[in-house]
A and B are shown apart, each in its own frame.
Chain A
Amino acid sequence: MPTIDFSVTVDNKDRAYDVENEESTVNFLEIGQSIEALYGQAMNDGTIEWIPGTSLALKSWSADDTEMDFQASDCFEGMDGTYYRGQYHPDGMSLYDMAVDVLADAQVDYRDYWIDPYLKNVLVVNPMPVVAHKEALQLIANAGRCILYQDRTGRIILKSSFVPDMEAASDNETYFSHASAILDHAEKEAYALPGQDYTGTSGAQYFLPRQTTNGATYLNTGYVSEAVAEEDGLFADNPTVEITTEAAYKCFGLTLEFGRNWPDTVIFHAYYNNAAMEDYTVPGLTQTYVVSHEFPEFDRLVLEFSKGCPNNRVVLDNIIFGDSTDYVLEYGVELTKTPKGTQLTKVRELQVVRTIYNLSTEDAKELARETISVTALDNRYTFYFSNPSYDLKTYVPVYVEATNMVQNGSFDTGVTGWLNAQYDAARKCTYVVSEDGNAVHIVQTVQMISGHKYYLRGNFMREESPGEYSGNDECDLVRAIANRESFNINLRPEAIAPDGVWHTKSAIDTVETTGEWDLRIYTYGNKRLYTDSLLLVDLTAAWGIGNEPDIEWCDKFIGYFTIASIPKYGCEIVDSSAYYATVELTGITGPTEVVVTGRDYVTTQSKVSRQLNPTGSLEAWNNPLVSDTVHAANLADWIGDYMKSDREYDLSYRGEPRIDANDIAFLENKYVPDLLIRVTDHTLKFNGGLSSTIKARRDMSYVATAKNRLAGQ
């Protein structure tokens, strides 16, 4: 976890900062208050050049009679709340979205962070474990091969920290050109081409095979443009090479290696998310040309050759990317002491652990049972689980006994108990249809009691068939004797649209007549009306008079049944993750026992190994977000590069406010020219003058190939 600790001691003149002094500014300080530090250097002309130092949150302060101390730290210090929102995502969730969710949960404003869009392409399925927000961010950063830090303006930055995979291509290349090979760093072969003064006679070039369709093999060339420069070096159509990167990439320089004749001018067009970021022209190219330029962050870089070598094609063998630096820590110049080097323990093998989540084959079990106090204003309660769980359900274990008054309401085995009913064996339901436009209905008689409230519900579907529907449908309860229609479910065409899909419809009412009622599915329409799962419940008999639930409650909490104990009170999960469930209770107040059931995920582990050294220790790296083999292998390579750097340096030097942790620099060394180090710890002190110490690690990763290319430029 990157940290910035900041401490300032000032003169407590006239005891202005005495904590007992009511007029002191000390009384206006608040924990978490923003502290911004700027470094200023007085120039010879009397002006002061300022550079931003850091932006931190005030942590503590204290004063004695002579001095006042302020301590501040970065924003990660305060992000110690717990993140419970981890969720298993079988289809994958991007690390970007996960980071946004963590930051939102930590109540960080979206303007106060930047996340590398590359992370939108890295999907993980595993839930984030229950950890502090800052640790969650660190896990995301690690899984995405990113670094996490707070920049000098106080913004949280989550940024990829590897040379992303790149691809090069061109729509202006010869049949034997390999634009894609310019990124492979390999030495290229040269064909004998007719370009002016291009082909030598020393035997170092090769005969070009003719263009055929039978799969001729060609030597490993780089990019060779289709366009040939005219006598004046200009092209009719400027050749271009396009490089796309897997992730946004910040580059401080690159090296172009051309073939025997090199063009004169190239224009770099940098794009990010398809927005043009910069056009940078480099004239006066040479065969090996180092472009020492801080490019803006890009995910697409187009090289346009605007002026070539007269009467020649553009032959580009390689483009070498990589961080580069011109900052050198030299004896007697920067260093105030000789560097102290430490050989760290070698790592023989790195094992990246993959955690694989599987669904449980066991039945759901009780995950939580607790009596909570419910009020009308506070009817929600959150349960936390120790293991990642799914298939969560909740209920209040108080039941009422109820019976479905509809006989054979599910039509599983036929239409027994119904008059006039037609049976659809495939759908296991009944249907009704009018052949001639006259009303038709199927019917069953039920016994109802005056003053009781009843809940009627069913699933309905209109036949999906050609032609317009004509007619009307209804499901109703009719007091046959008095022929009084008490209540009904409206099944007009628009109420159960679209056709071919089941629709659940319900109604609730209090009846006024005791006796036999007809439950009817009625139509005079020309298309079949399918009916299933009919339910009629005497709510008054089950809940008691005056306590009957309303129709919304019934729709939500009563499933289809014949005879059942159904929960008396409504209780549902309104928010959940793999580690918590927030339940909401309706229709109840006071102490209430609530149960949450679910299943635990079954987790297994597997490992991806990378051999680093013939001898040394075995290290295991466990990031619980990692489950995929390719993902684990990428991570093993990335961490392996770091672990291969088994030398650490302690340096004392003159102090440089521009240096941050994770910067790279060259260190003067008798045995290794261009010894590259990566700063891991930087302490800067000012007491009338600057002084500083650095802890750094020898960088053996991809940047180890970066030479001090900027030196002497």
Chain B
Amino acid sequence: MPGRCGLTDLSVKIGKIKFKNPVLVASGTFGYGEEYSEFFDLNKLGGVITKSITLNPREGNPPPRTCETPSGMLNAIGLANVGVSEFIKEKLSFLKKLDTRLIINVAGSTLEEYVKVVKRLNRIKGIDMLEINISCPNVKQGGMHFGATEESAHQIIKTIRENTSYPLMVKLSPNVTDITQIALAVQEAGCDAISLINTLIGMAIDSETRKPLLANITGGLSGPAIKPVALAMVWKVAQKVNIPIVGIGGIMNTKDVLEFLLAGASMIQVGTANFVDPKVTVKIIDELKDYCENHKIKSIKEIIGKLETQSIS
């Protein structure tokens, strides 16, 4: 029986935090975890990342909020969430009981909002890390403006860093001129990891009705359609930074995960694929074990950044 015998080490680390495997679920595709616990044991995951949490509850954008595009989908949910107080009161207890890493995704419209949310989360037992969303494309003041320039990205992460001792992962937008410069800026500001990419701004139109398919007109493109863009950005950022990278963008299967690891990601997030197959993450984790076993790889860490660019012919 290949794999599954526990010899292969899938664990990875970000700073001092050890994850049992490199597979996380991307913010906004996994709710607050409860929905998918009906399908599989969430403790098998490397970690869970919550929906973006904001200071106040947000209803989100008017419908229609999603549509399918070739090998992808557009969404403009608009950071719909229960707000940090309700999150702590109602949603956190379920997540805290899990035997996996818990990462809270934080978003806001102003620097003060981010800081207030982070301060509310400080000193809560069971939270392992924060993911700072400076890349939501679907809300006018949804944080993407913070991620748009080196100066603003640096300033917000530096301020958050001063207000919390949680390890910080910063989620970057691909909708910028040079993502490596933003990555360097947030590294310099003291974050512990960088996750990329958030969705690409996209649009779909019904030529019969002459209307956009999303009420928000534009949305964020995700799914396999964006994987080549994400891989290139992960690879470029990996050449520049020395903190761990978490790869996101169109991951559907184990092969996709391996590609991101080779490009330089230490961990990955599965997003849209959760909708297609609720159990895709556990399949990937099992298959990663098989892959390592079959290739005589003792630790998954051995392949991180091992892209061979020398002899392409």
Chain A partners chain B = no
- Interface residues, chain B, with chain A CB atoms under 8 Å away: none
- Interface residues, chain A, with chain B CB atoms under 8 Å away: none
